[in-house]
Amino acid sequence: MQFPAAQIALLVNGKIEGDGTVTVDSFGKIEEAGEGQLSFFANPKYEEYLYSTKASVIIISEGFELKHPVKATLIRVPDAYSAFATLLSKYQEIKQQSLAGIQQPVYIAPTASYGEQVFIGAFAYLGGQVKVGNQTKIYPNVYLGDNVVVGDNCVLHPGVKIYNDCVIGNNVIIHGGTIIGSDGFGFAPQADGSFKKVPQIGNVVVEDNVEIGSNTTIDRATIGSTIIKSGAKLDNLIQVAHNVEIGHSTVIAAQAGISGSTKIGNGVMIGGQAGIVGHIHLGDGAKVNAQSGVSKSIDPGKAVTGSPAYDYTAALRSQAVSRKLPDLEKKIKELEALVKQLMTEKTSS
């Protein structure tokens, strides 16, 4: 499909500079894009490509001043990166609209139900009392256990597994290989040194507008619900344990692990490979640096780093001091020598 620059500008509320009739049919990085492609410029490090690119249309921030002429048609917007993301979302929606109907073979329990304009791919399994909303896309090899609810406009990519009784809201994207609702890690120590499994009878609730990356696992609650609140974004390969709560618009990078019953506030940012112990609270707006080990609750708005994690600013000061230790050691030795010399002179006098 081809789209004229003028139509693209309407979609992103942008202003045209150049030929508004020029058309594009695909996207490209500014350093690689060719004729007929649309690109964007947001990072000043790539400015040199702005003047040499062969892209036909470029989305650019309205405040950026050109140093040289540009051949491409420009679309000026307040935030080039955000506008480009909007366009990619529209493009993806158009592609997904072509997916409709039910492929074969699938298993859909007689008591399961689904809404209008859904897509259910081959080898999908919908258990008893499953409910799927309108315009939801279920790719091949997805498993929905008994009593699972999936809302409207969701996308469940290949191999997603959602165990019994879990609830997925509207506009949720779950990437391939993710498992939601597997048993929490609950075992009671016994007198003979063995461990007895504690039944996990709760569920997982994923609210609206959440995105969950590939091969992430979210365990069901022992009792009650493990909750991922609206707008949260989880990367690939994340472990969320039983009875965890993740707040609104919180973002968590890959390979992070969150232990049971920890409560994470709204707007929290957690870096990759961070580990968080159980039964603590991370306040709204807290920031956890990558590879940090969090063993205590964090106050709202506070940033921590290290293992065990502590105040980010204090950690930077400590690192600065540690880099100077060789020089400090040298100065101490010089002072010791000077003191020894002064003591010798005093004794001899």
Pairing of strands 137-138, 119-120: parallel
Alpha helices by DSSP H, the chain: 5-11, 47-52, 80-97, 312-323, 325-348
Give the HSE-up count for residue 73: Cα atoms under 13 Å, Cβ half-sphere: 23
**How many other C-beta atoms can be found within 10 angstroms of the C-beta atom of residue 305?**
23
Contact call for residues 251 and 232 (beta carbons, < 8 A): yes
Q: From CA 343, how far away is CA 349, in angstroms rounded?
A: 10
The catalytic position among 68, 175, 242, 279 is: 242
**All residues at 6 or more sequence positions from 81 whose CB lies less than 8 Å from its CB, including other chains:** 40, 42
Tokens representing 96 are 């997904």
Catalytic-residue membership of 279: no
In Å, what is the CA distance from 261 to each residue of 48, 70, 190, 204, 254?
50, 55, 22, 13, 20
Instruction: Dihedral sign for Cα 113, 162, 89, 82, please.
Output: positive
When computed from its CA atoms, the radius of gyration of the chain, rounded to whole angstroms, is: 28
Tokens representing 257 are 């692990």
Task: Please name the helix (run of DSSP H) or strand (run of DSSP E) that holds residue 225, with its range, or none.
Answer: strand 225-228
Beta bridge partners of 217: 179, 239
Tokens representing 11 are 């979609």
Burial class (CB in 10 A: 0-12, 13-18, 19+), 105: exposed
Q: Which of 275, 232, 235, 277 is nearest to 253 (CA)?
A: 235
Q: Active-site residues: which are they?
A: 242
